[in-house]
Amino acid sequence: MTEVLAVANQKGGVAKTTTVHSLGVASAELGRRTLVVDLDPQACLTFSLGFDSDALDESLHDVFVRRAKVGDVRRPVPGVAGLDLLPATIDLAGSEVHLLTRTGREHVLERALEPVLADYDLILIDCPPSLGVLTINGLTAADAVLIPLQCEALSNRGVGQLLETIEDVRTFANGDLKVRGVIATMYDERTRHARHVLEEVESRYGIPVLQPPVRKSIRFAEAPARGKSILQHAPSSAGAQAYRDLAKLLLDTPVSAGTTR
């Protein structure tokens, strides 16, 4: 059965796109057919995977405005067998306005993905850093949510706001939506503050922190410019191994392991 995971945090700069990219590559390495969905008009995931969003003829925007289907727009990712991308362009910003006029606007992405669900074992959705209609579509289409968390106070505060949105989505659009857990990104275990933030997330919100944490590394900054993930750019690095371990954990553990908090 296909698992659909939305990767969301309305605070920018917490490694959402890096997490989707890295987990997607790790999943494909494990032999799972994987689709990554770029739901962000900034198209950072599309760029990181080696595509020029300005040169694309079609993108997710065309799916949203009913000019194309997902099966026609998805692209195989060069150099990664079993990994496809549903790309974004800046036109996706216009999709937000279009979606607001649609009946059942929260379900547009969910319905668009239905014809290709059987083609994949895992679908990862890179949600934009906001709680607007695009993110609501990502959450409605998902079985569960992964929350990348930079271990600092402001990022921690954003978790509470995201959980309120998740509760709204459960009430109005996707009653089965679960939270798989938090992924600690850019983690520095030497600081007491980072450790405290993770402990507080678990105790205050009752959300599991998935292991291992992803530690800070310059390798993460280098990889996107080469159109590669850290698993390809620095395959033996601690960051690459962390995402391999996280991908295996997610793939080996059913969605029911998530929390409904």
Mean pLDDT score of the chain: 91
The whole-number pLDDT of residue 215 equals 87
Instruction: State CA 142 to chain mean position distance.
Output: 10
Q: Following CA atoms 97, 70, 179, 219 in sequence, which dihedral angle do they give, to the nearest 10 degrees?
A: -100
Domains and CATH numbers, the chain: 3-254 (3.40.50.300)
The whole-number pLDDT of residue 49 equals 95
pLDDT in tens, 178-194: 999 999 998 877 777 77
**CA quadruple 240, 241, 246, 247: dihedral sign:** positive
Report how far residue 210's alpha carbon sits from residue 115's, in angstroms, rounded to the nearest whole number.
31
CB 188, CB 195: distance < 8 Å = no
Angle 193-135-85 from CA coordinates, rounded to 5°: 100
Residue with tokens 């029911």: 256
Position 246 pLDDT exceeds 90 = yes
CB 79, CB 65: distance < 8 Å = no
Report how far residue 59's alpha carbon sits from residue 89's, in angstroms, rounded to the nearest whole number.
6
pLDDT in tens, 204-228: 888 999 999 998 888 888 888 788 8
Position 154 pLDDT exceeds 60 = no
Report how far residue 74's alpha carbon sits from residue 63's, in angstroms, rounded to the nearest whole number.
10
Residue 53: φ, ψ to 5°:
-65, -25
Percent residues over pLDDT 90 in the chain: 69
Rounded to two decimals, the pTM is 0.94
The whole-number pLDDT of residue 98 equals 87
